[in-house]
Amino acid sequence: MTTLNRPGAPDGHVCGIDAAMEVIGGKWKVLVLWALHEHPRRRFGELRRLLPGITEKVLASHLRELEADGVVHRVSYDEVPPRVEYSLTEDGKRLNDALQPLAAWGRRRPVTGGLEEGAGRSRS
């Protein structure tokens, strides 16, 4: 367990977000999910092309973890030229749905209408 470890939720809930974060915790995870959502049944190379900047290792490992987490489905046809297709599982689609509100929130962030704190974007 390298992720969030709540000692047992003293308040009575586990919030489940940590579980979700465990799944989408990778740097490109959500984008892979997203790409798969918009381009069902994509092959490794295609996904790689869809995610400019990602390396094979990272894509491969993310895909493997996503598969292990049951949100991505992998089908490999053993043909002469190796061919593998990835797609979202039902659970993966649900995850994507659950991600929508967050996406919407993030999208309206830069120009929030009622931000009174005057906070600016500043990160490392």
Q: Which residues contact a copy of itself (rule: CB under 8 A)?
A: 1-7, 10-11, 14-24, 27-28, 30-31, 34, 38, 50, 52-53, 65, 67-70, 73, 89-91, 94-95, 97-110, 112, 114-117, 119-124
**CB-count exposure of residue 73 (10 Å: 0-12, 13-18, 19+):** middle
Q: Rule CB under 7 A: say whether 69 interacts with DNA.
A: no
Q: Which part of the chain contacts DNA (CB under 7 A), choosing from 30-38, 78-86, 100-108, 110-118?
A: 78-86
* CA 59 – CA 111 distance, rounded (Å): 32
Label residue 41 left, alpha or beta by phi (over 0 means left) and psi (-120 to 50 means alpha): left
The entry of DNA, a copy of itself, none near residue 11 (CB within 5 to 8 angstroms by kind) is: a copy of itself
**CB-count exposure of residue 51 (10 Å: 0-12, 13-18, 19+):** middle
Contact residues: DNA, CB under 7 A = 2-3, 25-28, 43-46, 53-58, 60-64, 74, 76, 81-84, 86, 123-124
